[in-house]
Each structure stands twice: as C-alpha cells, then as structure tokens.
Amino acid sequence: MKGFGLGLRPRHYEAILKSSPRVEWFEALSENYMVPGGRPLHYLTRIRERYPVVLHGVSLSVGSIDSLDRGYLAGLKALAARVEPEWISDHLCWTGVGGRNLHDLMPLPYTEEALRHVARRVRTVQDFLGRRILLENVSSYVAYRKSAMSEWDFLAALARDADCDILLDINNIYVSAFNHGFDPVEFLDGIPAARVRQIHLAGHDNCGDLIIDTHDAKVIGPVWDLYAQALQRFGPVPTMIERDDKIPPLGTLVLELDRARAISGNVLRKKAA
C-alpha cells in the first residue's frame, strides 16, 4: 500500500461516500468497530469497498504484565477477517494491570527485562493473528529511572527480536523529545528503515513546560520539518494525519494532507537526484 491516508472518523462517513476524497487509504480505530453491528460496521464496510483500510488499535496492551486478552485478540482477528486490512497496528505501551484498564498509552521502562517480555508477547500476538503487526512509539510525559536504553534503541531491538514492524509517529517523537530533552533526529537515526511501514502525523498542545499529545490541532511546522527528515532517512512511507478531537470537515484534512504530499514529493525528488 502506498500514498497518503486519514484516520477514519464517524463525522466524515457520509462525506467520504459522497465525495470520494483524494485519499489513498483510511486508518480505522479497531475498537470502534469491535461492536456487534449497526452504523459503525455498515460504514466501515462501505468505505472498505472503495478504499484500502488499515486497522489501528489502542487496547492490545502488549507491554502489560497481565496475560494477553484472548477475547480481544479473537475480536480483532474476526474484524480483520471482515475488513481485510493491509496491516494491523497498536502501540508500544501497556494500558493496565490486574484486570483493570487505564485506557491510556502508558510508557514502558526501557529495560532488558521489559524487552524480553514485550518481544515474547508480540510474537504470540503475531502467531495468533497470522501476520506481522506494527507497533507505534507513544508520546510520553514520564521517563523511568530504571530505563537502561533509549526509546529508539528499545523499539529497534523489539522489531528485531519479535520480527514486527514499526508505525512511526513523528508528532510523538517531537512531543517526547521536548518532554524528555532528547534530540528527535537521534530517534530517527536509531530506527531501522526496513521496519518502518507507516507514519503518523498529528497536532498537540504545548503547555510551555510539557507538550500534551492532544491530536486536536494542525500539524505544526517543526513536526513537518521532522517528517521531511524522516522521509530523507526512510524513503517513501505511507503517511497519514491523525485527528481525534476538534475534528474539522473532511476537506480541511484533505488539504492538510496535501502538505504531506508536497513535502514527500520534494524530499524524494532531491533524494533521487
């Protein structure tokens, strides 16, 4: 799958079907469609008839010490059988322990112990789903004293040990770099290019002392610059804009996506020259 996509949001269902926007694919949030039936699944099916779709989850909790949720995995597998996504992704995080759920993308300590644990679970998930998955770097606000390696080293080692792919969120790299004081380019340099299958772009809220990853605003200039640097390193990677709140009309996001197309065109032309 190639090109530029958007996160599929309910307020755009009708507009997508009526206007067939200039978007090469859509990313559907898995959990929104892991329901028995009705409007969400109806629209997903109709949009899938016209566009490639990828599934993006928030509940795998691949880093948790709890057992993997087999019910969730079975539901995800059933949804994948119905939607036939190009790929399935989730986040490098944990979402709860002891049978409880914080419904948040909680960061992991980057230790050898956590790496072994997560790699084992990713392999189990991939065996169950019968396909490789993509894991996304999350925005974080805390860093554990126990961490023994950088986030990018952890992600690269995980991709190698678990044989999984990477969904690189450029905004999340920017947010975490600001929050923890590392160089975002160093992050990009640490990621194995062959594993990067998809890129996310999004907006955030800069509170001065910390940046909160809100996904409720336009992509800012420095994130576009970092995206250009990512393309320089990784080449053409399917890219999308992720907007979860204050969602503008579809046409506005399609126009914002044009900026990604333009940057990509420039970078790749220069790279080829």
Partner 1 sequence: MRELASLQLAFQDHVYKPGRKMERAMLATRRASAARRLRIYANAYRLRLAEVLGNDYPGLAARLGEERFARIVRAYIAAHPSRHTNLRWYGAGLARFLQHSSRGRDRQALAELAQFEWALGLAFDAADAPLLEVDRLAIVPPADWPALRFVLQPSVQLLVLHSNAPQVWRTARAGGRKIAMSPRRTAVSWIVWRKGFEPCYRVLEADEAWALRAVKHGRDFAQICSGLRRFAGGEHAAQRGAQLLRNWLAEGLLSAAALTSRAGSQGRRRTSRTRRRGARAGA
What residue ranges bind partner 1 (CB under 8 A)?
31, 34-42, 59, 64-65, 69, 71-72, 94, 96-104, 106, 108-109, 111, 113-114, 117, 141-146, 179-181, 209-210, 212
Identity of the residue, 145 or 269, whose beta carbon is nearer to partner 1 in the bound complex: 145
Q: Helix, strand or coil for residue 229? A: helix
- State the CB neighbour count (10 A cutoff) for residue 172: 26
Identity of the residue, 42 or 131, whose beta carbon is nearer to partner 1 in the bound complex: 42
> C-beta of 3: minimal distance to partner 1 in Å?
30
> C-beta of 267: minimal distance to partner 1 in Å?
32
- CA-nearest of 256, 240, 244 to 216 is 244
Phi, psi of 112 (to 5 degrees): -60, -40
How many whole angstroms separate alpha carbon 188 and alpha carbon 173?
8
> C-beta of 146: minimal distance to partner 1 in Å?
6
> C-beta of 35: minimal distance to partner 1 in Å?
4
Phi-psi category of residue 208: left, alpha or beta, with phi > 0 → left and psi -120 to 50 → alpha: left
Identity of the residue, 7 or 238, whose beta carbon is nearer to partner 1 in the bound complex: 7
Q: Which residue reads 């994948």 in tokens?
A: 80
Identity of the residue, 17 or 210, whose beta carbon is nearer to partner 1 in the bound complex: 210
